[in-house]
Amino acid sequence: MVLIKKSLKSSKTLGKIPLLLYGRVFMETIFSTLKINLLDPLLIQQYLLPWYDKNRRVLPWRALPKHKPNPYHVWLSEIMLQQTTVSTVIPYFLNFIHLWPTVQALSEASLDDILHAWQGLGYYARARNLFKCAQEIAKHYKGDFPSAQNTLLKLPGIGPYTAAAIAAIAFEKNTSPVDGNIERVLSRVYSIDIPLPISKSLLKHLAIHHTPLHRPGDYAQALMDLGALICTPKNPRCILCPLKDFCRAFQNGKAEIYPLKVEPSVKPTRILDALWIEDRSGALLLEKRPHKGLLGGLVMVPIPYLNKNEENLFFKEETFPLKGFVSHAFTHFHLKVRILRSFIERDSLPLLENQFWCPLPDISQQALPTLMKKIMHHVL
């Protein structure tokens, strides 16, 4: 037992190595060594699907019962839902399908318009990949999403989770997407004493073990809904749960401690200056960030050194720093921005290729990231 736990930890990659490498026999050996008794594969679906039929969430991307799902809606929602809550995503999703009702229409849009519609959702690489993916589907698949998980995986922005979600939900393929909600439910049902992310592959295997041949898409969505509505991170409502009779964490009175988690490492903090430069007519100097890298393709005031190797703006004019900092969290670091403000004669500053003057009242027409909105709020 100790040996297996050590080997799981030392690889620290169990969640990243393809499950098939382990093989079913190896995983079953691990389960038996860790004394995890597998439940009957049919057990969860037998209790869960009737609960889902009565309690499912009504979401704009979800097909109504007995209706065929729209793969474009499933894909768009899954991309938007990465790192983002359902309530935040709903208005963005509705706006996107209003602006671009089909993947073909999305593929014919401009990236600037897509980034503009995406502003506020964060993680802008998703929007750029969304556009690339739409173009590939239009060009190579005549606007129809492929249904095979392996083919989906080759498309821009589609990782293993999203490929499994689209295959199961849009095409009823017998596969198991495992998101945070599903990890939580299965960690509790099996009271898995190995912390996340080390336990990811174990949980994936458990999800596969319970995936039904019939209604795999509903099964995945039922687990997601159970995690969102009943088996919540705090104060799970076990008494209302359809799985309570065989949930080991509930039976041991320990539901809330699962899933165990490895302490996250502390993110570093970077402190940088943003240049808020206005000309005498009240126009602001903006720049469109390079497509690759942080906030790619979006419009910001210049923040020299935001990309470590980017060209610096050589700016000699007198500036005065505003009080306080604007704070923003990126995936790998926290950013604290000090704002240096100055007023200049427009002709005195040679612009870089990606820079331009924008009258202040017109700024909202640009694709602005949340960081820029925070900076504007701080200054204006």
Site residues (CB under 6 A) for ligand SF4?
A: 185, 188-189, 230-231, 236, 238, 241, 243-244, 247, 249-250, 255
Q: How far apart are CA 239 and CA 253, in angstroms?
A: 12
CB of 239 to ligand SF4, least distance (A): 8
Task: State the nearest-atom distance from the C-beta of 138 to ligand SF4, in Å.
Answer: 42
Give first-to-last CA distance, the chain, whole Å. 60
What are the backbone angles phi and psi of residue 359, rounded to the nearest 5°? -55, 135
Which residue is catalytic, options 78, 172, 310, 317? Answer: 78
In the complex, the smallest distance separating the C-beta of residue 141 from ligand SF4, rounded to whole angstroms, is 38
Q: Are 372 and 364 in contact (CB under 8 A)?
A: no
In the bound state with ligand SF4, the residue whose beta carbon lies nearer, of 171 and 250, is 250
User: Is 78 tagged catalytic?
Assistant: yes
Residues in Cβ contact with 45 at an 8 Å cutoff, skipping those fewer than 6 apart: 210, 212, 215, 219
* Residue-wise DSSP of 155-200: STT--HHHHHHHHHHHH--S-----HHHHHHHHHHTT--S-BTTTH
Toward ligand SF4, which CB reaches closer, 168 or 223? 223
- Burial label, 201 (beta-carbon count in 10 A; 0-12, 13-18, 19+): buried
The tokens describing 2, both together, are 């100790």
* Closest CB 185 distance from ligand SF4, rounded Å: 5
Question: Least CB distance from residue 47 to ligand SF4, whole Å?
Answer: 10
Q: Using the Cα atoms of residue 334, residue 340, residue 341 and residue 346 in order, give the sign of their dihedral.
A: negative
CA dist 197 and 181 (Å) reads 14
Cβ contact 125:115 at 8 Å: no
For ligand SF4, the closer of residues 231 and 335 by Cβ is: 231
Of the pair 44, 106, the CB lying nearest ligand SF4 is at 44
**Complete DSSP assignment for 9-32:** HHH--TTTS-HHHHHHHHHHHHHH
How far apart are alpha carbons 247 and 185 in whole angstroms?
9
- For ligand SF4, give the closer residue by CB, 114 or 182: 182
CB of 68 to ligand SF4, least distance (A): 30
Q: Which amino acid is at 332?
A: H
Q: How far apart are CA 325 and CA 64, in angstroms?
A: 47
Q: Which is nearer to ligand SF4, 238 or 371 (CB)?
A: 238
Active-site amino acid positions: 78
